[in-house]
Structure formats: structure tokens, C-alpha cells
Structure 1
């Protein structure tokens, strides 16, 4: 790090668990963020501010006036523009040293498989059940840690699925892909504005922990957030031997670490 970076990240450097070595890990890291909306906004801003050196942001949507209630990376001047372009401008203004690659396409299995393999950590900030499963499958295939978040109405949840760990479930272990689930949208059910900031901030925290190798990530745990009651509840979740994605009959063999 040069003198400017030492000053910019000095509050990280002061933390014994991060220090100069940990900050250098962040600067060398690559995070893939799926979604530039309510969850992706705080995730992208905090990872960029924290000094994660490379970010890939995938989103095919454009900024709408209704987004501005909670999607803090966008402004009125961005209405009508692709969200990834709006996010690029905001991230560049906050930390021009971050390398940002944007993909303004709808995420399908082929795109996710291509992009996930080069990432060090993947963050699911989307709102589509099928896409969540496609992202999870790519993370299992390439053994990449996945930080998953969701928020609707007054309730949120966060968990970490780390395919590098033998004891870690994957997203499909907890939310089976053959389960009949109707995608719910905040456009019809609503969502509390600060809730997505809370969930996204926890996702960013978990990603930094994974990249720096500090603390204990939310592997095997589902953090449930109830903002109406002001309650945080942790549920234990386990890997399922018959999981169609990471189970013994489905998980691909890997050579090396």
C-alpha cells in the first residue's frame, strides 16, 4: 500500500484482526455482486469503501423513481439509466481506486458460471428464486463462498454458504430448488427502507470476514431479522446428504485444495 492507501484505510489497519495484511488481502480481492438494488446498493458501497480491489456488478434493470426510497446508490439524476451505470458513477466518486466491471444483462446459468469462477466471494443481492439457485449452483461448482441476503416487508435474512467447507450446506439444502415458491416483490408487498441497508451491511461484513479470514462466518446459520420487534434470531441449518446440488451424488469431484 502507498501512503494514500494507508491513510484511507487507517481505521482498518488499526484493527488487530485486519491490519496491513488484511487490508492488502481486500485490495487484492475480487467480489461478485448479483443485483444493484436495495441489497446491492449498501453491499457495493461498503465493499468499495472498504477497499475490495475488484468488483463485478450484474444487473439488467434501470433506475426508477420507486427505487430511490431504499436503493441508496442511485439518485434522481440516474432515473432511466441502467442501474450498473448509476452504480459505477457512485462507486467511482467514493473510491476511484476500485476496479469495477459491470454486466447489464439478465443473469442466466451460463453467465453466472462464467463470472463466478474468477471471484473470491459472491454476494446474492437479487430477488429472483430461480436466479438464486443458478448462482448457488455456480458457487458449488467452482467452490466459491456465497453470501446470501433477502428482505421483504419488515423481515430479512442472511446466511453464508461456503462450498469449500465439508460441513457447509448450500442454498439448495435450506431452500430446495424443487420447492414450489412464488417470487414475492417489494413492488406488491412493500419493504422498509432501512431494512435493506441492514441486511446489505451484514452481507458486506460477512464478505470482508471471508476475504480476510477473520471471525466466524454465518456458515450453517440463518440469521433472521424482525425489525418490527427489534429481534435477531439465529437458526441452525445443516447440509443435506441428498441435496441435488451439493449432495454426494451431485457434487463434482475436485483435485487440489
Structure 2
């Protein structure tokens, strides 16, 4: 690692849980970010700043004026630009050392699986249930860790799904237990900083997975109420009859 890199990442390298070895892992890692909106903005910016070597950005949409209240990776002059191109410009200015690949399209299942196989961690920053269920299904097949969050109005949630480890559930197991996620921000509204909170936590969980430190949210979900500033943690049991992960070959410690 060159002197300039050591200086750029010095505050992370100082942490014994990361150190030079962990930073080297980050520099060599690839993360697939699905959705460059309210959640994908802080996720992509913090991962870029942290030195994750390659970020693959996937989003079929263009920047709209209504996005700018919360999607901080974009700015006013970029209205009408493809979100992935807008985000890529911001991220390359933030950290020109990383590689940013853009996919300005909605991926079908086969292409999504191919892309997931090339990534170390998948981050779901989409805003609709159909996309989340597809991403979960493909992540289970690809046996890749999935960092998922959702936010609406003043409430949010975050979890990590690795159903191939022990008796941990997948997103499909979870969805049947918590309602309201199927609603969208465009229909119900959302306060901007809420996306920053949840997206930053997605980035943090991703870094922990890449470095291999700490205890992730695998098997748990955090629910957040921004109105009263309260967090609630719930354990997520696996659904033995889940149509997505019931037959997955699991690794037991």
C-alpha cells in the first residue's frame, strides 16, 4: 500500500479490528449496490470513502427533482442524468482510487446472479417489494451475504441475510412477519435523514462483513422509529417451510 493510501485510510487502519490487513481486504473487495436512491446514496459514498476497491452500481432510473431531498449522491445539475452515472461522478471525485462500474438497467434473474457471483457483498437499496424478493432469491442461490434496509415516513429497518450459515433466515422468511414494507416513499413520503441513518448502517454492516470483524445483524433485525428516536431489536427465526431457503445447504459451526 502506497504512502498516500496509508494516509487516506489512516483513521481506519488505526483500528485494531481493521488494521493494515483489513484495509487491504477492503481495497481488494467488490460490492454490488442495487439502487442509487435514498439508501444507496450514503451506502455508496461511505464505501467509496472507506476504500472498497470496486463498486458496481445498478439502477435503471434517472435523477428527478423530487429525489434531491434525500438522495445526497446526486445534486441539482444532474437532474435528468442516469442515477448510476450521477453517482459514479460523485464517488470518483470522493475517491479517485476506486473502480466504479455502472449498470443503468434493471437486471433479470440470470444477469443478476452473474453479477452477484463477482461480488463479495450485495447491498439491497431498492424501494419495492418485488425487487427485494428477487434480489433475496438470487442472493440465496449465489450464497452471498445480503445487507438489506428499508425506510418509509419516519420508520426504518435493517438486517443482514446469510441463510446458508446455521439456522439463519432469508429475507423471504422475514417479510411475512413485518408488514408495511411493500409501501413506497413516493406514495407515503419519507424524511430525508432517515435514509442517511439506515444507509450508513448498511455501509457499516458491509464493512464488517468484508473485514470479518464484529457481530453482524445476521439473524436479527433492527427497527427504528425516528419520531421517538427508539430502536428495537428482534431475533428472526428461520421459516422451515420457506420456498426460497428451506432446501439450502447450510454450514453449521
- TM-score for the superposition, normalised by structure 2: 0.95
Moved more, 7-16 or 182-191: 182-191
Summarize the Cα distance change of 1:62–1:38 in structure 2 as closer, same or farther, 3 Å threshold: same
Summarize the Cα distance change of 1:181–1:107 in structure 2 as closer, same or farther, 3 Å threshold: farther
Equivalent residue, structure 2, for 1:234: 233
Equivalent residue, structure 1, for 2:242: 243
Equivalent residue, structure 1, for 2:218: 219
Superposed counterparts of 1:158-197, under 5 Å: 158-176=158-176, 183-197=182-196
Cα separation, 2, equivalents of 1:82 and 1:95: 20
Cα separation, 1, equivalents of 2:5 and 2:163: 32
Cα separation, 1, equivalents of 2:163 and 2:218: 10
- TM-score for the superposition, normalised by structure 1: 0.94
Q: CA deviation at 1:87?
A: 0.3
Cα separation, 2, equivalents of 1:51 and 1:168: 29
Cα separation, 2, equivalents of 1:168 and 1:49: 31
Superposed counterparts of 1:1-257, under 5 Å: 1-176=1-176, 183-248=182-247, 251=248, 253=249
CA contact (8 A) 1:61 1:83 kept: yes
Cα separation, 2, equivalents of 1:120 and 1:234: 26
Cα separation, 1, equivalents of 2:245 and 2:135: 13
Cα separation, 1, equivalents of 2:147 and 2:216: 9
- What secondary structure is seen at the aligned counterpart in 1 of 2:68? helix
Query: Deviation digits for residues 4-53 of structure 1, max 9, x if unmatched?
Result: 11000000010010000000000011100000000000000000000000
Kindly report the root-mean-square deviation, in angstroms, between the aligned alpha carbons of the 2 structures.
1.8
Cα separation, 1, equivalents of 2:100 and 2:126: 19
Cα separation, 2, equivalents of 1:195 and 1:88: 23
Cα separation, 1, equivalents of 2:199 and 2:167: 25
Cα separation, 1, equivalents of 2:20 and 2:5: 10
Cα separation, 1, equivalents of 2:162 and 2:222: 15
Cα separation, 2, equivalents of 1:229 and 1:220: 25
Cα separation, 2, equivalents of 1:182 and 1:164: 24
Q: CA deviation at 1:130?
A: 1.1
Cα separation, 2, equivalents of 1:182 and 1:81: 28
Q: What number of residue pairs does the alignment pair up?
A: 251
Moved more, 206-215 or 103-112: 103-112
Q: CA deviation at 1:109?
A: 1.7
CA contact (8 A) 1:108 1:131 kept: no
Identify unmatched segments of 5+ residues in structure 1: none
